[in-house]
């Protein structure tokens, strides 16, 4: 990673520059003063998905899910715990495919839950099906180490 990273604020979608060495010091948004890392997944939709995907220098792990999906609901606590463990090295986000069908179509989501890992706007890998926290974090670390 470079000396400073561009990070999209989870509260106002403002773009911030933060020194890489200081990411663990609870940086705040220069625009709205909200914490840039909240230790929980961010809900993204058609309005802000592209900004977080393309403008942030952090890898983005997206959980494509639906409220009616039992495995999605079962995996939600593990995904939440993974966010607390993996931030600030990457951003975790959830996309409700029922409310954001064009995004699901854009990324060819055919089964849920589907986890897709992106870096610099490009999809690195994806996995379908519910994962527990340890398998989820191991998969992310393995993909990012490639």
- Report DSSP letters for 72-109, one per residue: HHHHHHHHHHHHHHHTTTSEEEEEETTT-HHHHHHTT-
**Residue 12: active-site member:** no
**Active-site pick, 12, 29, 32, 69:** 69
Chain Cα centroid distance, residue 92: 2
In terms of Cα–Cα distance, which of 130, 127, 126, 52 is closest to 92?
52
**Residue 32: active-site member:** no
Encoded tokens for 132 = 């527990």
The residues assigned a catalytic role are 69, 72
């Amino acid at each position: 990673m470079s000396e400073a990273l561009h990070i999209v604020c989870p509260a106002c979608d403002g773009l911030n520059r933060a020194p890489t060495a200081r990411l663990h010091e609870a940086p705040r948004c220069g625009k709205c003063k909200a914490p840039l890392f909240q230790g929980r997944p961010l809900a993204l939709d058609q309005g802000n998905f592209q900004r977080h995907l393309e403008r942030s220098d952090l890898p983005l792990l997206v959980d494509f899910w639906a409220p009616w999906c039992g495995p999605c609901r079962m995996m939600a606590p593990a995904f939440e715990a993974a966010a607390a463990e993996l931030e600030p090295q990457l951003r975790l986000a959830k996309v409700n495919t029922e409310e954001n069908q064009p995004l699901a179509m854009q990324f060819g989501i055919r089964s849920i839950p589907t986890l897709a890992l992106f870096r610099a706007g490009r999809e690195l890998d994806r996995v379908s099906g519910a994962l527990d926290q340890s398998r989820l974090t191991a998969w992310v670390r393995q993909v990012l180490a490639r």
